[in-house]
Structure 1
Amino acid sequence: MDTSSAQSWDAMYDSREQVFSGAPNPVLVGEASGLPPGQALDVGCGEGADALWLARRGWLVTAVDVSRTALRRAAAAGGALAGRVCWAQADLLAAPPPAGAFDLVSVHYFPLPVRPGHGPLRGLLDAVAPGGTLLFATHDLTGLSPDPERGFDPGAYYQAHDIAALLDPAWEIVVDETRPRPAPAPAGTRHTHDTVLRARRPD
């Protein structure tokens, strides 16, 4: 695990009593409500709202984050669902999840960097079980310029259409679109749209 990354995320969570709203991401609610419950992987689970929403709908969830602070908060919020959610500290960019283990791999606003050979992305795709679903949502970075002072390059991160283009043709692409955000942009940002990919792995 990249300890510096874990420490920086811990510092971000430690700076406030609650970072996020506590509500599940609207993309998850809209796209996953009709899926039959099974095993789910929540990538970059943060304070746990998505994982808890899935658990309440019958899913068994592995919720992963690099931040111990976020995971402690998530576990405290979901005490009654302890048997349905496994909170795990891990860096999925460095160590892929088990292959073929999850009926849903949910990746929401997780900064997934483009790497040579697409190793971390391939690990997440491989984690989807036959017949399972990949759900990926992130901020639309179209039109944003690199910001060297902040170390930010929009071209360094996957957008939904990038991932769709890398999928094996046997995958069924259910949704691949850019859509207006249903909620205001995060503080300090100008994000007005999201890119969303929902794809089903062949049986």
Structure 2
Amino acid sequence: MYEVKVLFDGYSGIKEDGYYANCTCTLLKGPQNIIVDTLTPWDGEKLRAALNQHQLECEDIQYVICTHGHSDHTGCNYLFPKAKLIVGYCISFKDRYFDHNFKDGETYKINEFVKVLPTPGHTMEDVSLLVETKNKGCIAITGDLFEREEDIIDESIWQSAGSMDVILQSKNRYKILEIADWIIPGHGPMFKVLEEYRVKGYGDKVPNTSDNSESSTTLENM
């Protein structure tokens, strides 16, 4: 089983001088140590220090998984020279690339406790992790499939953060809500999946896009 440690809660929002965001960064400590989403390129020292607090060095990480390829989720990949990379649908180690059919919905199994599944919508190559834990059941680490907990009630939050396909993203959000006991979203703290969230769901419904008529918004890099 794995210990799931949120090293940094993500955030996003508008201030007087512009839009600010950084991703949630999560450590999976277990049979194979895994980092999910590695912040911006300016965060290397604080990420290294956070790992040290858990008695780990960057060389101890076997997998780096980025839920999608935006810069605030991939910035410190360079810190992990011994890790296999999964960035969206792309799997590589050094200069070698591996085939995997994420496009047709195929899950990538890291081990019996951790699997990576395609959850496109925010980008068309987004992935999420499902982690089986002893104390919290199934934890889904979703990147920007979910911006933060509040976007389950207020759909405009995730739609305005950028979605290449709002209907597909909506269906994948519903799928995760049905599976997970807890969700670690892209730009907010971990939250428990309440039964009312599953009832709210999305299923095959077309989400309300009245305030966001285009499926891709201007905030495409978050």
Which bin holds the TM-score, normalised by the shorter protein?
A: 0.3 to 0.5
Normalised by the length of structure 1, the TM-score is 0.37
Between Structure 1 and Structure 2, the one with more helix by share is: 1
Normalised by the length of structure 2, the TM-score is 0.35
